[in-house]
């Protein structure tokens, strides 16, 4: 990292390109940590490794794995008055049947190999830039019905940039530690031996040093003006260190096996390097949301940190402002996926789909009557299959 960024210690993605790390020094640093993860017992579970100069997820069978996931898979999208009959007549009102008979065959047909994050927008007020809490996560039985790799988000804090109803926690408090232990008992203790679970996310786009109009009332977690002083930068490093260490230690109390993907940073908002540096010792992969320039930004973050990176949520949306329902852009997806696969630090891309459109997100690969967006689905499917063929050619077919 060059002296300018070292002094400034305040990083947005527009500054990331200034990092003066040579390819050779980065390669040596990454190679030295090729088998080091936060897992104390990764045997038989997804982990990380390097093959042919590239970071990969490694399957429980030891196979390099590039995760191609779909996000936002919510059965409530099939329970509007106009399609409730499908839910009752076709699936018998059973989420398990819907997963087995609709979700699984479609995801396989479309070439996805992962469920990235199932929770979906429930209520959205675009004119206010506001979204309410997302839908519930899948239960362990619903995940088992998927019978494919997945990631799970742990609700330690609701400081998401799209959420406008929740106050910030005091990350140094005993209440925070107790809450983290409750979350881990509720989620990790149950999922700790699931072979298809790749790892855990934390907050979705946490507002560490930025805010949105819908949550300006609470402000960011940390006042960015304090980063102008050495004392302020040290304060943020200490606070973020408490946050990530507490979560890490709590998860590891109940789950020693699965990877930690940490917060899903908004790549197009200011990100404090103090936060990222604090996370590096306690997470395995740095995760990002990026709807603008993910190929550039993930390359920059990998080079700056030496850590594997994941595009955890992204899409390009087609349609005019006057259209209520919009479409995913399959060509953009294909180009982005191919470019990310070439990034030696990138372990995957999860599409902000969603599976089936609702009236809040307003887009999906299926509409409310289960009709696919054929043009975009065809492009997405071929893109996924091309990557799968490349992986098979390079490493052999999965066992």
According to DSSP, the β-strands at 259-266 and 309-314 are unpaired
Confidence of residue 32 (pLDDT cuts 50, 70, 90): very low
* Residue whose C-alpha is closest to residue 138's, from 183, 96, 109, 83: 96
Q: What is the pTM of this model?
A: 0.86
Q: What is the pLDDT, as a whole number, of residue 19?
A: 33
Ramachandran angles phi, psi of 188, nearest 5° = -70, -40
Alpha-carbon distance of 243 to 329, in angstroms, equals 37
* Residue whose C-alpha is closest to residue 115's, from 205, 196, 202, 203: 196
What are the DSSP calls for 365-399, one per residue?
Answer: SB-TTS-B-HHHHHHHHHHHHHHHHHHHHHH----
| pLDDT average, residue stretch 78-101 | 96
Task: Name the DSSP class of 167.
Answer: P
Q: Does pLDDT of 387 surpass 50?
A: yes
Burial group, residue 294, by CB count within 10 angstroms (0-12, 13-18, 19+): buried
Q: What is the pLDDT, as a whole number, of residue 281?
A: 94
Q: Does pLDDT of 31 surpass 70?
A: no
The string of pLDDT tens digits covering residues 258-294 is 999 999 999 999 999 999 999 999 999 999 999 999 9
Confidence of residue 17 (pLDDT cuts 50, 70, 90): very low
**C-beta separation of 314 from 352 below 8 A:** yes
Q: What is the pLDDT, as a whole number, of residue 10?
A: 35
**C-beta separation of 330 from 318 below 8 A:** no
The lowest-confidence range among 1-5, 91-95, 225-229 is 1-5
Mean pLDDT of the chain: 85
Q: Does pLDDT of 53 surpass 60?
A: yes
Q: What is the pLDDT, as a whole number, of residue 58?
A: 97
Whether cis (ω within 30° of 0) applies to the bond prior to 246 is no
What are the DSSP calls for 91-148, one per residue?
Answer: HTT-HHHHIIIIIHHHHHHTT--EEEE------EEGGGTEE-PPPPPPPHHHHHHH-S
Beta strands per DSSP E along 321-375: 327-328, 346-351
User: What are the angstrom distances between the C-alpha of 304 and each of 1, 61, 240, 251, 394?
Assistant: 7, 31, 19, 27, 27
């Amino acid at each position: 990292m060059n002296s300018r960024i070292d002094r400034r210690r305040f990083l947005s993605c527009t500054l990331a390109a200034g990092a003066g790390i040579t390819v050779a020094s980065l390669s040596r640093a990454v190679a030295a940590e090729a088998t080091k993860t936060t897992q104390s017992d990764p045997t038989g579970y997804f982990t990380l490794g390097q093959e042919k100069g590239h970071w990969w997820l490694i399957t429980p069978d030891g196979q390099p794995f590039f995760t191609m996931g779909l996000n936002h898979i919510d059965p409530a999208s099939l329970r509007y008055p106009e399609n409730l009959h499908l839910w009752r007549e076709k699936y018998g009102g059973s989420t398990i049947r819907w997963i087995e008979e609709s979700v699984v065959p479609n995801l396989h047909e479309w070439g996805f190999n992962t469920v990235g994050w199932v929770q979906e927008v429930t209520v959205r007020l675009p004119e206010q830039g506001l979204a309410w809490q997302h839908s519930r996560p899948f239960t362990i039985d619903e995940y088992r019905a998927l019978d494919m790799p997945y990631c799970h988000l742990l609700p330690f804090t609701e400081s998401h940039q799209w959420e406008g109803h929740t106050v910030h926690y005091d990350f140094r408090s005993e209440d925070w530690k107790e809450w983290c232990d409750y979350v881990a008992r509720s989620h990790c203790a149950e999922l700790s031996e699931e072979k298809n679970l790749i790892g855990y996310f934390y907050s979705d786009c946490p507002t560490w040093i930025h805010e949105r109009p819908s949550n300006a009332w609470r402000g960011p977690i940390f006042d960015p003006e304090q980063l102008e002083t050495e004392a302020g930068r040290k304060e943020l490093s200490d606070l973020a260190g408490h946050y990530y260490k507490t979560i890490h230690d709590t998860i590891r109390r109940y789950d020693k096996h699965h990877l930690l993907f940490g917060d899903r940073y908004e790549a197009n908002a200011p990100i404090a390097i103090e936060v990222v540096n604090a996370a590096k010792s306690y997470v395995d992969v740095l995760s990002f949301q990026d709807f603008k320039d993910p190929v550039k930004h993930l390359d920059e973050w990998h080079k700056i940190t030496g850590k594997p990176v994941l595009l955890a949520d992204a899409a390009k949306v087609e349609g005019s402002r006057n259209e209520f329902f919009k479409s995913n852009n399959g060509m953009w997806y294909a180009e982005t996926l191919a470019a990310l696969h070439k990034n030696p630090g990138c372990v995957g891309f999860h599409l902000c789909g969603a599976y089936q459109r609702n009236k809040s997100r307003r887009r999906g690969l299926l509409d409310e009557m289960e009709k696919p967006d054929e043009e975009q689905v065809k492009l997405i499917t071929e893109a996924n299959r091309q990557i799968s063929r490349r992986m098979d050619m390079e490493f052999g077919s999965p066992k």
